[in-house]
Amino acid sequence: MEKVEQLSKQQIKQLSPEERASYRERLQNYKKALKEQSKREQQRIREEIQANLRFGIRGRNLKPQQVSALLGPTNSGKTYQALQKLLERGSGTYAAPLRMLAREAYESLQEQLGDQVGLITGEEKINPEAPILCTTTEMAPLQGDMLVLDEVHWAADPQRGWAWTRLLIGAEYKQLVLMGSVDVLPLLQSCFGEDLQVQIFERLGNLIWDRGVSISKLEGGDAVVVYSRKTALYLAKQLTKQYGSERVAVLYGSMPLESRLTELDRLRSGSADLLVCTDVVGHGLNLPIRRIVFAETSKYDGQKRRNLKPWEVAQIAGRAGRYLNHPEGFVAYLTSSKWYQPDPGVIQRGLSPTVLIDEEQQLYGFRRVSRALIRPSLSDLGPVKISLLHQAIEQWYKTARQELRSASWIDLEQPQEILGRLRIVRRTLRKSG
């Protein structure tokens, strides 16, 4: 293709009529050829991107030999049973929603198996080649011997659900052990059908409604729950004035690792016996909590401030009472404070399941979790240039609807959030040069 230089208006005026007509014809043909070349290049790029896209669906010959679901409320012993299975197996992965929970499992298993256990989270990597790994769900490997997947109802979470769904449809393990509330049974039945083996657990101790308690009447073993880091730190300061700094511990999701480990050690050793925490306590941490005291019953969900849903209350309230430390658990709300005005009715709706999950077994929960969310990870997009990431993501979503059509229980997470994060990365890279 012969290149045609663009002439200025003045240069074109100096041409003869014949030369002008010839120039315009050559220029028009040149632009047309460029456009065709661009189309071919775009098609080549689309085909290259398409060839590298992955959708994380395991083949039929790679399906697990056994799928066990251990379902029940908090403090029912299902995590203990699942870890015992992993311990007996001697090889596999425990995947948890929290770094704190992954570390807790790591420490428990390490006491029995030593250097046969490793830990991988976003901020720690210890003995990563060990036959048994404790990880956050996002960091869990996609292949192995046994996968113990905790809090599996998180597959429906708008922000992080993709990490659980990715493992449900794509993890190539010989055995899957799935833990969660009975709410998630419909989802697991859709995913695994007749291959699913279900074991239902009952809570090991009673959960008792304890009404209101003032700040001045808190007792050892109380955990006061709020819904922001700022509020947790403020309330911890108030309790420190009342009870002394040595008794009060604080936990929230974004707490630095060293501080978090220190607070957990203080609570488990008994040197601190009052806890101020966010809903991080509701995701499986095993702490010597006798009573959960709600200081707040509403939270900001990323869009608005709203009341807690019954299943959210249940996740947290169920942390009251540990079978060995406190056989019975108590749930209350904070009173006598103008700053905290929790609604007792919101809490009580989370103490008794009313939603029928399975008619044949007469199982009741707090909601029916029947659908899971998924979005692409970087590995799903293949080796793609940063400049083409936006196009690759859009192409993944377009194709995923077809590729995942057999899994009718899966919803695609809206691409706006991931594309928004990509725009932020691009702006940052441009500013940094």
What is the structure's pLDDT at 143? 94
Q: Is residue 50 part of a domain?
A: no
User: Looking at the structure, do residues 30 and 124 belong to the same domain, yes or no?
Assistant: no
234 and 312 both lie in a single domain = yes
Same domain? 174 vs 258 = no
Residues 64 and 190 reside in one and the same domain: yes
Q: Considering the domain boundaries, does residue 223 fall inside one? A: yes
Helix/strand/coil for 358 = strand
- d(CA 384, CA 392) in angstroms, rounded, equals 8
Give the per-residue pLDDT at 215: 93
Query: Residue 363 domain-assigned?
Result: no
Joined together, the tokens standing for residue 64 give 């697990």
User: What is the pTM for the complete model shown?
Assistant: 0.87
Picking from 327, 355, 383, the residue at the C-terminal end of a domain is: 355
**What's the DSSP call for residue 363?**
E
Same-domain status, 196 and 211: no
Residue 235 sits in a domain whose CATH number is 3.40.50.300
Cβ atoms within 10 Å of 82's Cβ, excluding its own: 21
pLDDT in tens, 307-360: 999 999 999 999 998 766 668 899 999 997 778 889 999 999 999 999 999 999
The number of residues making up the chain comes to: 433
pLDDT score recorded for residue 340 = 85
Confidence of residue 51 (pLDDT cuts 50, 70, 90): very high
The three-class DSSP label of residue 398 is: helix
Domain end position, chosen among 137, 169, 200:
200
77 and 162: one domain? yes
Is residue 51 in a domain?
no
Residue 23's CB is within 10 A of a number of other CB atoms, namely 16
The Cα–Cα gap between 85 and 77 comes to 13
Same domain flag for 221 and 107: no
**Domain hosting residue 97, numbered range:** 60-200
Say yes or no: 170 and 264 in one domain: no
| Both tokens assigned to 200 | 């239902």
Do 185 and 134 sit in the same domain of this protein? yes
Query: What is the domain count for the chain?
Result: 4
